[in-house]
Amino acid sequence: MPVRYIDHLPRSADLVVIGGGVLGAATAFYAVRAGFDVVVLERRPALCTLTTPASTGAFRLQFDNPEEIEVVRESVDMFLAFNEVTSQDEYQLNVKQQGYLWVTLHEERAERARQLVERQRSWGLEDVEWLDEAQIRDAFPYLTPRAIAARFRRGDGFLDPRALTMGFVAGSRAGVVVDCGAIGFEVDGEGLAGVRTGRGTISTRAAVIACGPFTAKLALTAGVDLPVRMVARQKIVFPHLPEVPAWAPMTIDDDTGAHWRPFLRGAAVLFTDPDTPPGPPLENVPVDHDGVFRVLRPEGDVSVARISPFWRDVWSRNAHTWIVHTGQYTMSPDKRPLAGGTEVPGLFVNSGDSGHGVMTSAAIARRLADIVAGSLPEERNPFRLSRAFEAREFDVL
């Protein structure tokens, strides 16, 4: 089932979704299922070409609060039945449930990990494990002998974020207009009346802004000030790297946040410095070469070699190609999604995913479609824009 591209801007639609990444695609899919005639607008020449392909391409239920555990659980259930639910088989997610593993070298972190595992189990995540030194050595021999504790859940894993995005769009049968960026909104006494684009105005009483780092800038044209900031991120891809155990889980240094996972026939390596200053939304995010060396060079303070020593050999031999993909996180104050209505009636937002957009996409979009349809009251939405923002106690990735 191909994506339904249209070469002209329709005069009207029940709902306009602005943005062709994973959040916009999922929103379109569930909005069509809720009965809306949907048009997707993408400012670039192709869907899924800005932040989504720079993502980790992974999912996990190991969160520090029951609300996000619930939404990711719903999303994962959908991922595991993706082709059946979307009624298309052109896009395959290639889900691999190899787990997420957080590893620490410090006693204080080990105790925090143990406490978080206990809390997660109290929220119903009964298959998450806390591992001591002996269990780590037995299960993950590639780790440093200095590792003293870890938390692990086998059911977490990886998928193809581009296939997820395109499968959502294809399955929705929504009309898609590319090379068509939204530039503002028409508002009347009843609320939203239309979406202005570089190719004209499309009349609508409902629109969802889901254009990643450009969401806040666009919302501001309607007088909506979103509490988000954009932070640069990058993913270092080794397409072929024999040292990487293909069976390994997402392996995370719980002390620094640096992490890697098997990818293609090699690995993807990621680290976002929490001290990275926010910046404006960018179409082209520059590569931070110092950041690349900081995470790959064994002497670096956040090097992936701290917990996975084989990366020392990779560095010293320097025989394999690496490629850097860049993008931006759209960060909310509490690092939870921002999904719900704005002060402009008919104008909605799906953003602020803070790096978790792939894994929360299905459940958040389904709930947002219910909100747009009026079947889910905003007060029952924990991700509403008007909520109180509280600092997270545990989650840092």
- CA 229-235-238 angle, to 5 degrees, is 180
Q: Is the pLDDT of residue 98 over 90?
A: yes
Q: What is the pLDDT of residue 391?
A: 86
Rounded Cα distance between 95 and 271, Å, is: 23
* Structure-token pair, residue 257: 């946040």
Q: What is the pLDDT of residue 392?
A: 84
In tens, the pLDDT along 252-293 reads 999 999 999 999 999 999 998 888 999 999 999 999 999 999
Q: Can you say whether residue 5 is alpha, beta or left, with left for phi > 0 and alpha for psi between -120 and 50 degrees?
A: beta
Of the candidates 197, 164, 329, 198, the residue with the CA atom closest to the CA atom of residue 207: 197
Straight-line distance from the first to the last Cα atom of the chain, in angstroms, rounded to the nearest whole number:
36
In tens, the pLDDT along 12-58 reads 999 999 999 999 999 999 999 999 999 999 999 999 999 999 999 99
| SS3 annotation, the chain | CCCCECCCCCCECCEEEECCCHHHHHHHHHHHHCCCCEEEECCCCCCCCCCHHHCCCEECCCCCCHHHHHHHHHHHHHHHCHHHHHCCCCCCCCCECCCEEEEECCHHHHHHHHHHHHHHHHCCCCCCEEEEHHHHHHHCCCCCCCCCEEEEECCCEECCHHHHHHHHHHHHCCEEECCCCEEEEEEECCEEEEEEECCEEEECCCEEECCHHHHHHHHHCCCCCCCCEEEEEEEEEECECCCCCCCCCEEEECCCCCEEEEECEEEEEECCCCCCCCECCCCCCCCCHHHHHHHHCCCCCCCHHHCCCHHHHHHHHCCCCCEEEEEEEEECCCCCCEEEECCCCCEEEEECECCCHHHHHHHHHHHHHHHHHCCCCHHHCCCCCCCCCCCCCCCCC
Q: pLDDT averaged over the chain?
A: 96
What average pLDDT does this structure show over 165-176? 98
* Structure-token pair, residue 245: 């155990």
Q: Is the pLDDT of residue 233 over 90?
A: yes
Q: What is the pLDDT of residue 272?
A: 87
pLDDT band at 396 (very low <50, low <70, confident <90, very high): low
- For 41, the enclosing helix (H) or strand (E) is strand 38-41
Distant-in-sequence, close-in-space partners of 62: CB < 8 Å, separation ≥ 6: 100, 102, 120, 125, 128, 151, 153, 156
Place of tokens 């449930």: 97
Q: Is the pLDDT of residue 102 over 70?
A: yes
Q: What is the pLDDT of residue 273?
A: 87
In tens, the pLDDT along 107-136 reads 999 999 999 999 999 999 999 999 999 999
Q: Is the pLDDT of residue 353 over 70?
A: yes
Q: What is the pLDDT of residue 67?
A: 95
Q: What is the pLDDT of residue 365?
A: 98
